[in-house]
Amino acid sequence: MSAPTETEAAVRSRRGARVADVRALGQPPGLKERRNEEHWAGRLYMRSLSPYVSWALLRLGLSPNQVTYLMIAAGVAAAAVLSLPGAALWPALVAAVLVQVYLLLDCVDGEMARYLRRTSVTGVYLDRIGHYLVEVALLAALGVRAQGAWETGGYVELGLVAALGAALIKAETDNVVVARAKSGLPVDPEVGDRALRPRSTRLALARQLAAALRVHRIIGAVELSLMIAAAAAVDALVGGHTPAATRALTVLVAAVAVVQTAAHLVSIVASRRLQ
């Protein structure tokens, strides 16, 4: 990467930062179109808000990695609030708001890194670990909320099963890169996106159907937090001694996680990603 010119260095300075500069340099062309990496909420509304927050944090002197730590803290705090004993509505709503903060900061740390030209392997690593941790914590917290406390009874265990499934799915994806690297292969297969398609026609059709239905999104932090808030609202409206909607959601999420863990593994092995 060539050294920035004097003019560009002035533009990229913290004190001279403008929101327009952050948007131009932190959101390069094609960023929102990265369907496999950019969250739909980012494309829909969060990328419109994030440059203002990036600008403010640049002026405060925070580094991109420090913002990543804040992102992780917001997500873990959402899980902690959600796991509070009882079935009151407010913990689910607060958790949903904190997950939105988590998503916002996830956009901001990358924008700041690109603006400052401080992208790093450490930053990528922390970002991915943060996503692992937050999604696992939220799923475990859902089980606690469905049970009503940190005690055995079935729902805490289902939440932990879903959390394990979410971690395994991410590990399955990341280990494609590890396996290729250890075998001396380039990170990306030479055939490009065609490598993602299973060689079997039936498996390919099943994969396309699952992608169209967006079933995998149910265990993502943003979608999950919104569904938890909706289930909590239903439980509050219906009343009763047990959070029936939240418990039904926990069963559904655990089932999806188990099925998706197996299906994702089969999809990878049956594709050309390991060749």
Mean pLDDT score, 230-245: 92
The mean-pLDDT minimum among 64-78, 177-191, 227-241 falls in: 177-191
Nearest to 263 by CA among 205, 182, 187, 207: 207
Confidence of residue 209 (pLDDT cuts 50, 70, 90): low
Query: What pLDDT, in 10s, does the model give residues 210-219?
Result: 554 566 678 8
Phi and psi at residue 212, to the nearest 5°: -65, -40
Residue 23 has pLDDT above 80, yes or no: yes
Burial class (CB in 10 A: 0-12, 13-18, 19+), 141: buried
Among 68-72, 195-199, 206-210, 257-261, the range with the most confident prediction by mean pLDDT is 68-72
Spell out a b/e string for 246-271, using b for 16 or more CB atoms within 10 Å of the CB, else e: bbebbeebbebbbebbebbeebbebb
DSSP secondary structure, 218-241, as one string: GGSHHHHHHHHHHHHHHHHHH-SS
Evaluate if pTM is beyond 0.95. Answer: no
Q: Which residue has the tokens 């902690």?
A: 80
Side chain identity, residue 241: H
Mean pLDDT in the chain?
Answer: 85
